[in-house]
Amino acid sequence: MHALRTRFPHYWLLIQGTFWFVPGLMVVGSVILAAAALAIDTGLTDTSLPGWVYGGGADGARALLSTVAGSMVTIAGLGFSITIVALVLASTQFGPRLLSLFMRDLTSQATLGTFSGTFTYCILVLRTIRGPEEGASAFVPQLSVTVAIGMTLLSVAALVYFFHHVTVSIQAPILVARVARDLDRAIDHLHPRDQGRAGPAPEANAVPRLESDAVVVAPASGYVQVVDDAALLQLASRHGLVVLLTIRPGIFVVRGNPVLIARPSDRVDKAVADALQSTLIIGDVRTPEDDLEFSVRQLVEVALRALSPAINDPFTAMAAIDWLGAALARMAGDDFPTHYRYDADGHLRVIADTSTFGGVAHTIFSRIRHYGGTSPVVLNRLLEAISAFGHHIRDDTDRALVRDEADAILRVGRDLITSAADLRELERRHAAALAALGRPKGQH
């Protein structure tokens, strides 16, 4: 049950990132709708239909459905072309790792599904039309043709909205905000359900060791996408194990390299090792569901690409920094998952490798500082971000790490900024950042 609860959301997320699932469902729905409409048509008479229902003959119905079906193929091709252009533009300007945002876009998927479903519906209804000259009893599915007209109008509306949606979604501020929402969802998942009770650090001799305890290796090479915390805790508790995770979501592992170390080793037979191994999902790419740093790096990549000489768009970089600062404020006010997880009886069961606030902050500031060091506005915005979230930090170690980042920003500015006025402004922002972190101005 635990494995299903973890794996289903993972595979559901992968399915959401395809262009076939939603359109496929809508095509199946159009087949069902055509069958239902035709079944109703067989029991109707001309006298029982209201005036707004199609009342033409077989030739008119054929011409109408043929025209709609042909138009839907053309429009669907246009929709795919527009989508591909948007993907190419996003990949070039914002980075290829952001393509998953467009692939998961429900509006694009539903629009393409509307066109495909309308085409399928028209083809299925078209084949049932019979004129009086065909030797059999004439049959013009008037209600079904009317439904086709309605689906055509819906497709036109979907096309107009699709144009609007694409033009809005490729705008840099909108795209940055969408990536930030993904990061917010990743922060919401910082505390998985049933990961166990938090507890103090154990004695050093209680931690499993690579040299003396049972080692579980990676079954394949790739990125760790999911660690099933609940199943791992349950397995460790059931077999009386202490399990040390040497990896976390987002880490690349090589087949045959250690990923778990379990103690005592005499309780880890092949069946237990396979069960422990099955708590990991390893894939070809990183995914955002349990990988906080992946979502952070997506926003960082937007900022770095905006700062590249080819694009030179500091305003997009500043927008990314604003959202990263907001995310750090959320993380600073929350407790990161504990490394040490205990079962209901108070026994240490899992020692996890988890992301830390300091590590995330360093990922953000070190990369943007390195590539944006010659831009005073970017360095100022980094210090403004620290001023905005600095007072949210509760841990003294984290506060010290962020102070070091602020000092590093000032050092880079002193080395690379040539304007005295820009440097004075940077020093002023640095002092404000230190004040937010709780350190007097003179201590740097």
Domain boundaries along the sequence of the chain: 2-170, 197-283, 289-336+354-437
Q: What is the pLDDT of residue 3?
A: 52
Average pLDDT over residues 423-440: 88
Angstrom distance (rounded) from CA 76 to CA 118? 10
Residues listed for the chain = 444
Q: Is 17 helix (H, G, I), strand (E, B) or coil?
A: coil
What does residue 111 show for φ and ψ, rounded to 5 degrees? Answer: -65, -45
Average pLDDT over residues 271-278: 92
Checking if the pLDDT of 89 tops 90, the result is no
Beta-sheet strand order (sheet of 340-342): 197-198, 340-342, 348-351, 242-245, 258-263, 214-217
Angstrom distance (rounded) from CA 133 to CA 384? 80
Q: What is the pLDDT of residue 169?
A: 87
Q: What is the pLDDT of residue 72?
A: 94
DSSP bridge partners of 252: 223
Q: How far is CA 152 from CA 61, 155, 237, in A?
A: 14, 5, 59
Average pLDDT over residues 366-384: 93
Contact residues for 360 (Cβ-Cβ < 8 A; gap 6+) = 292, 293, 296, 328, 331
CB-based contact 351:357 (threshold 8 Å)? no
- Which tokens belong to 371? 């590539």
What is the CATH architecture assignment of 197-283? Alpha-Beta Complex (3.90)
CB-based contact 72:118 (threshold 8 Å)? yes
Sole residue written with tokens 């497709």: 155
Q: What is the pLDDT of residue 342?
A: 86
Q: What average pLDDT does the structure give for the chain?
A: 86
Average pLDDT over residues 393-413: 93
Angstrom distance (rounded) from CA 343 to CA 346? 5
Checking if the pLDDT of 158 tops 50, the result is yes
Q: Report the percent of the chain where pLDDT is more than 90.
A: 49
Average pLDDT over residues 145-170: 93
Given pLDDT bands bounded at 50, 70 and 90, which one contains residue 133?
Answer: confident
- Choice among 167-176, 258-267, 339-348 with the minimum mean pLDDT: 339-348
Sole residue written with tokens 């077999």: 239
Candidates 330, 349, 403; CA nearest to 195 is 349
Candidates 378, 398, 393; CA nearest to 329 is 393
pLDDT, tens digit, for every residue of 46-84? 656 676 788 778 889 999 999 999 999 999 888 888 888
- Choice among 20-29, 43-52, 163-172 with the minimum mean pLDDT: 43-52
Checking if the pLDDT of 410 tops 80, the result is yes
Checking if the pLDDT of 195 tops 60, the result is no
Angstrom distance (rounded) from CA 371 to CA 20? 39
